[in-house]
Amino acid sequence: GAVVSQHPSWVICKSGTSVKIECRSLDFQATTMFWYRQFPKQSLMLMATSNEGSKATYEQGVEKDKFLINHASLTLSTLTVTSAHPEDSSFYICSARETGSYGYTFGSGTRLTVV
Amino acid sequence: ILNVEQSPQSLHVQEGDSTNFTCSFPSSNFYALHWYRWETAKSPEALFVMTLNGDEKKKGRISATLNTKEGYSYLYIKGSQPEDSATYLCAFKNFGNEKLTFGTGTRLTIIP
């Protein structure tokens, strides 16, 4: 079945630095990938839709200059949290949908802690 | 803002017992309802994608029903086993976009 690999699983960074999270579709091509964020005791919230070869579409309230998304190939999307602050500490997870499929395949997520 | 609610938030069930939980979602502009099973430190695993009113799907001991007119879906687990312990998420998708709107999940713990 479709597999999405996400790295790193967890990361601790200092306030003010940037962190890059990778999401790869291993056995299918994904023209569209999705980035979600989950705060404690809340649901997964869509941050942005990443489109291969074009600009990402951000949900309302998500700062595009802070959360940089790059989808340079059909199998890789990256999310860079720039100038991270402690309030950016959260669980970030990506997903992708294989063309022709109803279902969405998720990565295993990244726990980001900003100290 | 779309509202997807799941109940209960958490549930403890004795091994061997059957259980069920609910997902409610907007009944208008419905396209699909997704169920996922999510174990800690793993990727959410797709269980069902339900699209038709009255749909009933089954995967082993797990089944799900869908009522799009009243906006709810039930997930049933028959004869619970310890490996069923996980968080079960539902997600609603409407027409016109790829966005999934998730509930907060039902955390199921099976007591051996």
- C-alpha span between A89 and A10 (Å, rounded): 11
For A8-37, the three-class secondary structure string (H helix, E strand, C coil) is: CCEEEECCCCCEEEEEEECCCCCCEEEEEE
Distance from CA of A83 to the nearest CA of B (A): 26
Digit-coded pLDDT (tens) for B85-102? 999 999 999 888 888 999
How many CB pairs below 8 A link A and B? 48
pLDDT band at A1; cut points 50, 70, 90: confident
**pLDDT, average across residues B13-18:** 98
**pLDDT > 70? residue B79:** yes
**pLDDT > 90? residue A102:** no
Residue A60's alpha-carbon distances to A40, A84, A87, B95, in angstroms, are: 20, 19, 18, 19
Q: Give yes or no for A82 touching B (CB within 8 A).
A: no
**pLDDT > 90? residue A95:** yes
**pLDDT, average across residues B2-9:** 93
Sort out which chain B residues have CB atoms less than 8 A from A6's CB and list them.
43
Digit-coded pLDDT (tens) for B27-60? 888 999 999 999 999 999 999 999 999 999 999 9
pLDDT for position B106:
98
**pLDDT > 70? residue A12:** yes
Of all residues in chain B, the percent with pLDDT exceeding 70 is: 99
**pLDDT, average across residues A30-50:** 94
Is the CB of B104 less than 8 angstroms away from the CB of A41?
Answer: yes
Structure tokens at B14: 């004795």
Digit-coded pLDDT (tens) for A58-91? 999 999 999 999 998 889 999 999 999 999 999 9
Q: Which amino acid is at A20?
A: K
pLDDT for position B1:
66
Q: Give yes or no for A97 touching B (CB within 8 A).
A: yes
Average pLDDT in chain B: 95
